[in-house]
DNA sequence: TCTTAAATTTTACAAATGATAAAAAAGGAA
DNA sequence: TTCCTTTTTTATCATTTGTAAAATTTAAGA
């Protein structure tokens, strides 16, 4: 997914505004396993995923929890850093070799105050992330691990192929043993 | 909490922009038990809570789940309606007599395209809701019901007084009986 | 291909949680 | 206050989920 498609999917910008935004972006690549951003650090960039797959996780009390998978077209970022210039809860790691568009947020914020179209782009960006986050919350709260697993498989079949089960179990909030039990019953 | 305080807490607006925004707001009051908005309906307004306490819930398959409590200064709304003009998942009910500021969203969206300050106010509004929603998601995913209960009590002591336990249990994702067990152990 | 390491599944047992029913306590209305 | 309804707690039992360890499968490198 190229940069124009990613930007347009958020909000359609006039040519000159879009050029200003595109100027803030550089392309970067990293190998599998690379830690894109670290929890407890203030992150100065956000990353649109051109190609690849990543996970967000946090090492809370001892245990590591994976709570998000991102792939082509999605944004890898720390909300707390982007929105409040605070340390993020999450680390983000590449689960395969990935190509990313890196966007400096300080420069972006400057454009928000200067260009109403870019300001509306930024509003739309936050709104779309908000809806996605709310959907995750509701799925988490209303559905059993089994239901969420079947939805995940249906909506993202390659994820199961590309990501190891322990991480998916963590994402579903259950142990790997429980996920194995679920998978055994589905056969 | 009055309207100015609520608007300012989101983003500081120049006088004239703020006046335009304030003109879209009317004050409404409803008795305890009133359903402010209904799931499966497109909602045309958002409500800032001046005084009172509300809950969002959804009647998914048979059972009713409470997944949010809002009080003074917070916003009662359907994200799906506000952001995508779609039906919301949630109903919102007043748990006590409440006073609310009602804001028409169609008119607000018009201002977004006309006034860069209001556009940035709208961006900030979405961003702040996003951080709150992410915090709820992370709390849900990383913490046990007991931990979330103690956090809830610590951060919102009057909630426990004002809201019945069955709703809090539903919010925590456990049965009322389990919550009773938790409370008994904390003594 | 063979060997070794990593990932996944299975099993057994223990602990936590849910369902149900019933008792106790609290709150409201007359 | 007294009665009645609602809410909360307690008790029992069945089910689910986690932990730990072993068995199996899959993948990777030499």
What the block records as the tokens of B95 is 């748990």
CB atoms within 10 A of CB A18: 19
A174 C-beta less than 7 Å away from strand D: yes
Residue-by-residue pLDDT tens, chain B, 187 positions: 899 999 999 999 999 999 999 999 999 999 888 999 999 999 999 999 999 999 999 987 677 889 999 999 999 999 999 999 999 989 999 998 999 999 999 999 999 999 999 999 999 999 999 999 999 998 888 888 888 999 888 888 888 888 999 999 999 999 999 999 999 887 7
> Can you tell me the distance from the alpha carbon of A22 to that of A101, in angstroms, rounded to the nearest whole number?
10
Cα radius of gyration (chain A): 17
Q: Do A137 and B133 touch (CB under 8 A)?
A: yes
> Can you tell me the distance from the alpha carbon of B56 to that of B87, in angstroms, rounded to the nearest whole number?
14
What domains does chain B contain, in order, with CATH numbers? 3-106 (2.60.120.10)
Main-chain dihedrals φ then ψ at residue A77, nearest 5 degrees = -165, 165
Q: Which residues pair with B104 in a beta bridge?
A: B45
Question: Regarding beta strands A53-59 and B25-30, do their DSSP bridges make them parallel or antiparallel, or are they unpaired?
Answer: unpaired
Residue-by-residue pLDDT tens, chain A, 187 positions: 899 999 999 999 999 999 999 999 999 999 888 999 999 999 999 999 999 999 999 987 678 889 999 999 999 999 999 999 999 989 999 998 999 999 999 999 999 999 999 999 999 999 999 999 999 998 888 888 999 999 999 988 888 888 999 999 999 999 999 999 999 988 7
Q: Which residues of B touch A78 (CB under 8 A)?
A: none
> Can you tell me the distance from the alpha carbon of A164 to that of A180, in angstroms, rounded to the nearest whole number?
12
For residue B164, what is the DSSP state?
Answer: -
Buried b (16+ CB within 10 A) or exposed e, A163-176: beeebbbbbbbbee
Which of A120, A138, A140 is facing B113, going by the closest CB pair? A120
Cα radius of gyration (chain B): 17
Q: pTM for this structure?
A: 0.93
Q: Coil, helix or strand for B14? A: coil
Asked whether B179 and B146 are in contact (CB, 8 A), the reply is: no
Q: Coil, helix or strand for A115? A: coil
For the residues of A57-73, what is the DSSP string, one character each?
EEE-SSSEEEEEEEETT
> Can you tell me the distance from the alpha carbon of B149 to that of B183, in angstroms, rounded to the nearest whole number?
9
Q: Which residues pair with A65 in a beta bridge?
A: A58
User: How far does B170 lie from chain A, in Å, by closest CA?
Assistant: 9
Q: Do A113 and B128 touch (CB under 8 A)?
A: no
């Amino acid at each position: 997914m190229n940069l124009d498609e990613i930007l347009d999917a958020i909000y359609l910008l006039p040519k000159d505004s879009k050029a200003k935004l595109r100027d803030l972006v550089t392309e970067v690549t990293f190998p599998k396993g690379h830690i894109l951003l670290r929890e407890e650090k203030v992150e100065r960039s956000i990353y649109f995923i051109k190609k690849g797959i990543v996970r967000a996780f946090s090492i809370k009390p001892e245990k590591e929890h994976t709570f998000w998978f991102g792939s082509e077209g999605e944004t890898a970022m720390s909300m707390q850093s982007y929105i409040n210039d605070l340390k993020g809860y999450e680390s983000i790691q590449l689960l395969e070799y990935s190509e990313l568009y890196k966007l400096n947020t300080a420069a972006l914020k400057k454009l928000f105050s200067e260009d109403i179209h870019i300001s509306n782009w930024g509003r739309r960006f936050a709104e779309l992330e908000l809806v996605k986050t709310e959907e995750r919350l509701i799925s988490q709260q209303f559905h059993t691990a089994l239901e969420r697993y079947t939805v995940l498989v249906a909506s993202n079949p390659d994820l199961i192929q590309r990501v190891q089960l322990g991480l998916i179990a963590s994402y579903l909030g259950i142990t790997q043993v429980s996920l194995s039990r679920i998978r055994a019953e589905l056969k």
